[in-house]
Amino acid sequence: MYWWLSMSWTVLRSPVAIALAAVAGALSRYYVSLGVNHLVEHLWEPVHHLLGMGLPLSTLVVNVTGCGVMGFAATLCFHPQLQVHPDVRLMLLTGFMSSYTTFSSYELDSARLFAHQQWGTDFLYWAGSGIVGWLCLEGGSWLAHQVHQKFISSRP
Partner 1 sequence: MSWLPVWIALGAIPGALCRHYMILFCTQQWGNHFPWGTFIVNLSGAILMGFCTTIIDNNIPWLNGLVAIGFIASYTTFSSYALDTSRLWQQKRYKLGLLYFIGSALAGFLGVELGIFTAELVHHG
Please report, as ranges, the residues that interact with partner 1 according to CB under 8 A. Answer: 15, 18-19, 21-23, 25-27, 29-30, 63, 66-67, 69-71, 74, 90, 93-95, 97-108, 110-111, 114, 126-127, 129-130, 133-134, 136-138, 141
Which is nearer to partner 1, 40 or 62 (by Cβ)?
62
Contacts of the segment 122-127: beta carbons below 8 A, 24+ positions apart? 124/53, 124/55, 125/55, 125/56, 125/60
Nearest-approach distance from CB 46 to partner 1, in angstroms: 29
Which is nearer to partner 1, 48 or 141 (by Cβ)?
141
Give the span between the Cα atoms of 72 and 147, in whole angstroms: 10
Cβ atoms of 57 and 36 closer than 8 Å: yes
Which is nearer to partner 1, 38 or 43 (by Cβ)?
38
